[in-house]
Amino acid sequence: MTEDFVLDDKYVIPKDESVNFMAADMDWDPKVWEDPMGFQPERFLNDHDRDFDITGSREIKMMPFGAGRRICPGFGLAMLHLEYFVANLVWNFKWKAVDGDENPLQAFLSPRIR
């Protein structure tokens, strides 16, 4: 802090003190997330491009790998393992659309030069 700061008219944070927070508190905040402890992976999709952000680079709401200079050094490895995990799910199981699904998945194949 560059100067003394009073938080909520109760707590004084003196000048030159460090302030830390738990990232998990942000992840579990019901003001930010509807049913924060519920398993709802679709909450991470955004509306315009259906992409997701787990790095906190667009809007910090959840930081499973941290952010900025202190981002987890294992982030790339974790993402690689997730890709292999999903690839193995696709390879080893039979998949079909849910009965009554109006938008079944479609594959678009295109040739590539190796």
Q: Which residues are annotated as a binding site for heme?
A: 72
Q: What 8-state DSSP symbol labels residue 98? A: P
Question: Backbone dihedral region of 54: left (phi > 0), alpha (psi from -120 to 50 degrees) or beta?
Answer: alpha
Binding residues are 72
Tokens encoding 4: 């003394």
What does the alpha-carbon distance between residue 65 and residue 52 come to, in Å, rounded to a whole number? Answer: 14
What does the alpha-carbon distance between residue 39 and residue 28 come to, in Å, rounded to a whole number? Answer: 12
Instruction: To the nearest 10°, report the CA torsion of 37, 70, 18, 27.
Output: -10
